[in-house]
A and B are shown apart, each in its own frame.
Chain A
């Protein structure tokens, strides 16, 4: 009876036929000794067919199926193509050896190919695995490892739910490019000014902005052709009719030399380049803003996209930023000053990159350090939320921003800011409410007995009790179950936000929230 063995590798499926079955019998020991030597093993087992995977995606599908013990269509067609046909009613004269019995039963159900996976088969598979690269002629040494590497990475990525959109590398590259672009645009713009000034020196003093200068110079072209007709165009560009008139006047009395048409064309092209670059810079900035709101919305809401992106790129990645303590975040960017101060036992710097956010500027000199520390603490919270929570929401970032504002006011006027605990609670409640609204249309009357999720009648009476509980419990943000949201939603609708019931018992019922709850404080 013929025996085949299926071997799944990262580059494809291989089907091997086992010869000399009669000699070996089903003796594992004999197989073992033959495995060690390729020539002997080669006589025992021979390659019948090899089906390489079409693409990386195909390979990933196959490996997922194999790990579950499920047969894919590709595997099925491969087997049916290469194994002898199974005739109806007759007992097949061959069997297929597999590594996993589960896959075997699946294959048998679908194709009636008899499968076995015993020790004997496992030994054979060991041999195949050992000598696999020699069996397949097309595979060069090292190819197999590469395919294993690629496939393992994609498999593992799928396992850890790697989300391409939330890759922070884009932001880091974008911010570097932005800096480089700024420098380059500046150099080029200076060059345009110098070059065109040969022809029209007075323009430099009238138009100060680099970008506008490039546009104006392109528009004016040859200054001798400047007439009153050009005023509307110039006004459009410059935004100021007086300036436009000035330009025309200066053009008439200019002491610059004439340029040949060819020279003018060159200057034009260059000015065009500068304008294009400036436009691109704008687009890049927009891209950066979008990316930041994708990967770190709370950080962006708190301190702005530019500063946020700089922090991330300085730390190396969003995860690194989240891992470091807030004291590190405070002086990220001021390492030279920090270590110098540490070595010479002087005063350490109070702020690094954080300085560029607007809050530090608004604080008085005495309070700059305090605000920096406070801001760094909040930034740490925001970056951690961004890094580890699922779902992109700016709710936390905005609330944190409000807190910083409140603290600034406190330093200014002595108005006591809210406690962090309360603010966070508010955010979570808001988020739950939003979640609920997003998922179902709001129930007008709370007293409706029909609830969408079967909760049980007794809980309706407890809605009153629960709503008051809810407001006092502090929750962590992660999972908002719909039933909980529903309860909350109903409770929110029934009363104003913060009712204070004293010492209500925590009703332990079906709203099994997966959040950690801290005991409610009765006095607040």
Chain B
């Protein structure tokens, strides 16, 4: 790898960049007036976990093994994605600005593994997330759209994310976010009945399920039978306590995997995420994969 040099480095790799912390972004906010006031409260001095980047340090941004995801290296590393809508942030996350050779800036948003299971899976070292630029993703359990926004960054303008969320309150936040990002299609509907929103969804390449419901295997398989293409892939996040809090976590994961296998959802990877207090596992796999 080329040693990082100030002012050199092409496009995506970027050169030395400057990370601005929360204070910097607030000052910028008042300078630009109302335009960037959205989503940011002035006077908010950062206290919660931010994914590792401190303000004011020099950062180097390199692509991650997974296409569309990047790593920002400084004193501590952070996972970032390239912002599809420069200037907008969803949740007070930090942003990293990188100067290109031609003096244009590229904006990256920090992805917090404590907030997002997908980021957690990536940092834990999953082989293949299958989400890459240009794919269509069906996201069940979109909530307020934090992870959805990062997925939308990854798939880019060519791909699209169908975000299904049942709750009204989260739905409103999701819809606000979707108004800015045109590759997110918000669907405020119950994921247990994919027939209800079948008019709004096309065939997708990947289903990502984060619903935390005891019947989530059934939900995933039903949605897959409607919308997931043959040879497509899925990721499901399993919270052991949501399924059955009395039995051991390992048993729960096994049970869920068996349920999936019965519905032609063949798991290829199972990752245990133990970064939080709750016991989570992420199962990645394929749907109707051709028999070898």
In chain A, what residue has the closest Cβ to B290? A36
Expressed in whole angstroms, the minimum distance between the Cβ of A170 and any Cβ of chain B is 13
**Per a CB cutoff under 8 Å, which of B34, B160, B199 touches A62?**
B199
Q: Which residues of B contact A130 (CB under 8 A)?
A: 203, 229
Residue interface mask A323-348, B partner, CB < 8 A = 1: 11001100110011011001000000
Q: Which chain B residues in 9-35 approach chain A with CB under 8 Å? A: 23, 26-27, 29-30, 34
In Å, the complex CA distance between A316 and B230 comes to 44
The answer to whether A155 and B168 have CB atoms under 8 Å apart is: no
The answer to whether A160 and B168 have CB atoms under 8 Å apart is: yes
Indicate whether A467 reaches chain B with its CB closer than 8 angstroms: no
In Å, the complex CA distance between A316 and B38 comes to 4
Question: Looking at the complex, which of B102-110, B170-178, B238-246 is the stretch in contact with chain A?
Answer: B170-178
Q: Which residues of A contact B160 (CB under 8 A)?
A: 145
Q: Which residues of B contact A317 (CB under 8 A)?
A: 38
In chain B, what residue has the closest Cβ to A117? B195
Expressed in whole angstroms, the minimum distance between the Cβ of B137 and any Cβ of chain A is 13
Indicate whether B111 reaches chain A with its CB closer than 8 angstroms: no
**Per a CB cutoff under 8 Å, which of B26, B43, B188, B226 touches A126?**
B226
Q: Which chain B residues in 172-212 approach chain A with CB under 8 Å? A: 172, 175, 178-179, 182, 185-189, 195-203
Expressed in whole angstroms, the minimum distance between the Cβ of A135 and any Cβ of chain B is 13
* Interface size of B as a range: 35 or more
Q: Beyond A335-B26, A339-B26, is A323–B41 a contact (Cβ under 8 Å)?
A: yes
In Å, the complex CA distance between A363 and B227 comes to 64
The answer to whether A336 and B186 have CB atoms under 8 Å apart is: no
The answer to whether A332 and B182 have CB atoms under 8 Å apart is: no
The answer to whether B34 and A316 have CB atoms under 8 Å apart is: yes
The answer to whether A148 and B189 have CB atoms under 8 Å apart is: no
Q: Which residues of A contact B41 (CB under 8 A)?
A: 315, 320, 323-324, 328
Indicate whether B213 reaches chain A with its CB closer than 8 angstroms: no
Q: Which chain B residues in 137-163 approach chain A with CB under 8 Å? A: 160, 162
The answer to whether A336 and B30 have CB atoms under 8 Å apart is: yes
Indicate whether A152 reaches chain B with its CB closer than 8 angstroms: yes
The answer to whether B168 and A129 have CB atoms under 8 Å apart is: no
Q: Which residues of B contact A99 (CB under 8 A)?
A: 195, 198, 226
Q: Which residues of A contact B199 (CB under 8 A)?
A: 8-10, 62-63, 66-67, 151
In chain B, what residue has the closest Cβ to A342? B45
**Per a CB cutoff under 8 Å, which of B26, B37, B43, B198 touches A66?**
B198
Q: Beyond A148-B201, A156-B175, A159-B171, is A36–B230 a contact (Cβ under 8 Å)?
A: yes
Q: Which residues of B contact A331 (CB under 8 A)?
A: 42-43
In Å, the complex CA distance between A157 and B176 comes to 10
Q: Beyond A63-B199, A63-B200, A339-B27, is A156–B187 a contact (Cβ under 8 Å)?
A: yes
Dominant SS among interface residues on chain A: helix
Q: Which residues of A contact B203 (CB under 8 A)?
A: 126, 129-130
In chain B, what residue has the closest Cβ to A100? B195
Indicate whether B44 reaches chain A with its CB closer than 8 angstroms: yes
Indicate whether A56 reaches chain B with its CB closer than 8 angstroms: no
Indicate whether A132 reaches chain B with its CB closer than 8 angstroms: yes
Q: Which residues of A contact B275 (CB under 8 A)?
A: none
**Per a CB cutoff under 8 Å, which of B26, B38, B188, B195 touches A159?**
B188
In Å, the complex CA distance between A99 and B42 comes to 50
Indicate whether A176 reaches chain B with its CB closer than 8 angstroms: yes
Indicate whether A480 reaches chain B with its CB closer than 8 angstroms: no
Residue interface mask A146-184, B partner, CB < 8 A = 1: 001101110111011110000000001000100000000
Residue interface mask A53-78, B partner, CB < 8 A = 1: 00000000011001111000000000
The answer to whether B200 and A35 have CB atoms under 8 Å apart is: no
Q: Beyond A99-B198, A145-B202, A156-B171, is A328–B226 a contact (Cβ under 8 Å)?
A: no
Indicate whether B225 reaches chain A with its CB closer than 8 angstroms: yes
Expressed in whole angstroms, the minimum distance between the Cβ of B144 and any Cβ of chain A is 12
Q: Which residues of A contact B45 (CB under 8 A)?
A: 342
In Å, the complex CA distance between A10 and B199 comes to 5
Expressed in whole angstroms, the minimum distance between the Cβ of B42 and any Cβ of chain A is 5
In chain B, what residue has the closest Cβ to A175? B34
Indicate whether A427 reaches chain B with its CB closer than 8 angstroms: no
The answer to whether A176 and B43 have CB atoms under 8 Å apart is: no
In Å, the complex CA distance between A32 and B230 comes to 9
Indicate whether A482 reaches chain B with its CB closer than 8 angstroms: no
The answer to whether A152 and B38 have CB atoms under 8 Å apart is: no
Q: Beyond A130-B203, A159-B188, is A67–B197 a contact (Cβ under 8 Å)?
A: yes
Q: Which residues of B contact A176 (CB under 8 A)?
A: 34
Indicate whether B39 reaches chain A with its CB closer than 8 angstroms: yes
Q: Beyond A32-B230, A62-B199, A129-B202, is A320–B38 a contact (Cβ under 8 Å)?
A: yes
Indicate whether B40 reaches chain A with its CB closer than 8 angstroms: yes
Indicate whether B288 reaches chain A with its CB closer than 8 angstroms: yes
Q: Which residues of A contact B30 (CB under 8 A)?
A: 335-336
The answer to whether B185 and A152 have CB atoms under 8 Å apart is: yes
Q: Which residues of A contact B42 (CB under 8 A)?
A: 314, 328, 331-332, 335, 338
Indicate whether A404 reaches chain B with its CB closer than 8 angstroms: no
Q: Which residues of B contact A66 (CB under 8 A)?
A: 196, 198-199
In Å, the complex CA distance between A161 and B172 comes to 10
In chain A, what residue has the closest Cβ to B35? A316
Indicate whether A144 reaches chain B with its CB closer than 8 angstroms: yes
Indicate whether A122 reaches chain B with its CB closer than 8 angstroms: yes
Q: Beyond A62-B199, A153-B178, is A339–B23 a contact (Cβ under 8 Å)?
A: yes
Residue interface mask A124-138, B partner, CB < 8 A = 1: 011001101000000
**Per a CB cutoff under 8 Å, which of B27, B37, B226 touches A314?**
B37
The answer to whether A153 and B195 have CB atoms under 8 Å apart is: no
Q: Which residues of A contact B202 (CB under 8 A)?
A: 129, 132, 144-145, 148
The answer to whether A155 and B200 have CB atoms under 8 Å apart is: yes
Indicate whether A313 reaches chain B with its CB closer than 8 angstroms: yes
**Per a CB cutoff under 8 Å, which of A144, A159, A313, A327 touches B189?**
A159
In Å, the complex CA distance between A9 and B203 comes to 11
Expressed in whole angstroms, the minimum distance between the Cβ of B287 and any Cβ of chain A is 11
The answer to whether B27 and A122 have CB atoms under 8 Å apart is: no
Q: Which residues of B contact A316 (CB under 8 A)?
A: 34, 37-40
Q: Which chain B residues in 219-236 approach chain A with CB under 8 Å? A: 225-227, 229-230
Give 13 A-B contacts (CB < 8 Å), ordered by A residue: A10-B199, A32-B230, A36-B230, A130-B203, A149-B182, A152-B200, A159-B189, A160-B175, A176-B34, A314-B42, A315-B41, A335-B26, A338-B43
**Chain A to chain B: the 6 pairs with minimum beta-carbon distance, closest first:** A316-B37, A316-B38, A67-B196, A156-B188, A159-B188, A335-B42
